């Protein structure tokens, strides 16, 4: 198809966040969406392959995490036949999709963003709240705003990427660069904790002309299926993204043995990512190309206070970072370093503010925290809390209780340890447990070195100081300790288009979701040189006698 103009996409800005204050219009609409969703549940979620619903004999349930005796949806697990159909169907439409004019591809994702921000805003927020245990604000900044931001900003980044061309052309020569989709298909494995990440894992590669096989997390099936339906309504052709919930070991093994497997786009645990990488390595001889492996995994994220830090703001920022969404963000604060000169005031203020935190169902908007995602998460977090109660070096100064009788509720728990390399300072917990180490105020640099070497992660971290030299020192020593580093701000809450997100070490490949860097991972560039001037002799001047 001829392209008759060079198009510019509309100006892109971050989606404005609604605050859901008492009496607000958005609060009323979201409450209505929650009520309607509870009344209509359970929903049925099929596999969706080649434009058709597929229902299998293997059916599981996604519970409402704050009310786990109730079911949000039932979903059909993909069997081996369905997985094979998904791969074959995606490959069958690959050539057509890659050949779509760029403006038409972009139009689909821009429309999807507008659908997320308008028609489906309250529905997808309600699904994220009930299914994944987020309060209204956490759902808003995730499934409405961040998802819309990913969809829109990726279009801008793609436009910028395609515009990058060779800066020089010799006389009579025209040099060009084109950015091809990868040969084969992309396999996206998405997590439970961010609806927006599920959308980005599939939409970023699809935008660049790739076809994608998508395995959503069991605890986020319903919200992820809504994303898929939104994309179809926006005009995404059948087969470009194939939606296949299913048991991870079986689906993954089948996908990773396919010769046309071209890329893994993953967000989840470090342990699982390493397992997948090993499987890919073991299968390397069967692939047509070296697969692109893109992953964002775990973290053991930190705040450090310098002796010049302002106490009240660091307390508030630390409570948000540690306990928002029950500590189930990969960026969540887990270890906190406080100088002894500030500790008495800091401890007093922290305990006072901690007492104000409310925990309960997502429907009650005043709750700052709700439930953790499922029984396995509850049991794991509980084991760390129980360990601390028997530890000789760790004291529980707040929280420490839990109850899974109705929802998987864990009170925000604060520990203080005498050992900076104790269990809860080193191991990822992924829950509302914060461990504090009080360090001698005159050992600031030594403590920075300690932070840098305590564990294998490198995702997020923050320094709080009014002394600029303290900030400079922390920035230098912690250069590789965090892919997202914050100064006088909490270590969570990266915004698309403002703070590209990702870490290295055991925290992932640091390809920076929310930036142009990520899109480069899903294209294979080709350099083209065209010569306009024929030559009449094969010899060079240096060959003359």
Task: List active site positions.
Answer: 296
Helix axes 195-207, 221-233, angle to 10 degrees: 40
- The torsion angles phi and psi of 369, rounded to 5 degrees, stand at -125, 150
Give the whole-angstrom CA distance, residue 336 versus residue 437. Answer: 6
Q: List, in sequence order, the alpha helices (H) in 101-167.
A: 102-117, 121-132, 136-139, 147-162
Residues 6+ apart with CB under 8 A from 468: none
Cβ burial of 340 (10 Å; 0-12, 13-18, 19+) is middle
Give the whole-angstrom CA distance, residue 355 versus residue 371. Answer: 18
Helix axes 102-117, 121-132, angle to 10 degrees: 70
| φ/ψ bin of 476: left (φ > 0), alpha (ψ from -120 to 50), beta (otherwise) | alpha
Q: Please tell me whether residue 133 adopts helix, strand or coil conformation.
A: coil
Partner residues linked to 526 by β-bridges = 178
Tokens coding 25: 């219009």
Question: Greatest CA span in the chain, whole angstroms?
Answer: 94
**413-417 and 433-439: which strand pairing?**
parallel
Residue 190 C-alpha from the chain's centroid: 8
Element at 303 (helix H, strand E): strand 301-305
């Amino acid at each position: 198809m001829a392209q008759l103009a060079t198009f510019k996409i509309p100006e892109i800005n971050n989606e404005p966040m609604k605050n859901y204050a008492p009496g607000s219009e958005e609060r009323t609409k979201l409450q209505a969406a929650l009520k309607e969703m509870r009344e209509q549940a359970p929903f049925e979620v099929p596999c969706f392959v080649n434009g058709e619903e597929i229902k299998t004999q293997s059916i599981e349930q996604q519970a409402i995490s704050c009310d786990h005796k109730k079911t949000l949806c039932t979903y059909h697990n993909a069997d081996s036949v369905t997985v094979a159909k998904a791969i074959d169907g995606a490959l069958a439409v690959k050539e057509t999709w890659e050949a779509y004019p760029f403006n038409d591809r972009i139009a689909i994702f821009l429309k999807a963003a507008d659908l997320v921000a308008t028609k489906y805003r309250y529905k997808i927020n309600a699904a994220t709240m009930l299914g994944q245990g987020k309060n209204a604000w956490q759902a808003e900044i995730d499934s409405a705003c961040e998802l819309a931001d990913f969809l829109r900003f990726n279009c801008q980044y793609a436009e910028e990427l395609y515009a990058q061309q060779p800066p020089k052309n010799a006389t009579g020569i025209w040099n060009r660069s084109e950015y091809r989709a990868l040969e084969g298909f992309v396999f996206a494995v998405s997590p439970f904790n961010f609806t927006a990440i599920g959308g980005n894992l599939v939409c970023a590669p699809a935008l660049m002309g790739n076809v994608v096989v998508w395995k959503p997390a069991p605890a986020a099936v319903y919200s992820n299926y809504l994303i898929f339906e939104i994309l179809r309504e926006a005009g995404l052709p059948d087969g470009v993204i194939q939606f296949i919930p299913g048991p991870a070991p079986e689906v993954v093994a089948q996908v990773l043995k396919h010769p046309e497997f071209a890329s893994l786009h993953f967000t989840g645990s470090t342990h699982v990512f390493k397992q997948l990488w090993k499987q890919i390595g073991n299968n390397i001889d069967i692939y047509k190309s070296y697969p692109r492996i893109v992953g964002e995994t775990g973290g053991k994220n930190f705040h450090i206070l310098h002796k010049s830090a302002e106490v009240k703001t660091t307390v508030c920022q630390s409570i948000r970072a540690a306990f928002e969404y029950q500590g189930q963000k990969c960026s969540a604060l887990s270890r906190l370093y406080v100088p002894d000169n500030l500790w008495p005031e800091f401890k007093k203020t922290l305990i006072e503010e901690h007492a104000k935190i409310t925990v309960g169902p997502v429907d009650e908007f005043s709750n700052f925290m709700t439930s953790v995602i499922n029984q396995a998460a509850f049991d794991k977090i509980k084991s760390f809390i129980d360990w601390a109660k028997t530890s000789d070096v760790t004291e529980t100064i707040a929280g420490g209780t839990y109850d899974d009788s109705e929802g998987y509720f864990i009170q925000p728990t604060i520990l203080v340890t005498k050992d900076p390399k104790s269990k809860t300072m080193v191991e990822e917990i992924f829950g509302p447990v914060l461990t504090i180490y009080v360090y001698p105020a005159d050992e600031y640099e030594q403590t920075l070195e300690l932070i840098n070497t305590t564990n294998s992660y490198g995702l997020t971290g923050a320094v709080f100081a009014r002394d600029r030299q303290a900030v400079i020192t922390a920035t230098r020593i912690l250069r590789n300790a965090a892919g997202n580093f914050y100064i006088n701000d909490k270590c969570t809450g990266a915004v698309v288009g403002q703070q590209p997100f990702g870490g290295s070490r055991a925290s992932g490949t640091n390809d920076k979701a929310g930036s142009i860097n990520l899109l480069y991972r899903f294209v294979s560039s080709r350099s083209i040189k065209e010569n306009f001037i024929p030559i009449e002799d094969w010899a060079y001047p240096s060959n003359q006698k």
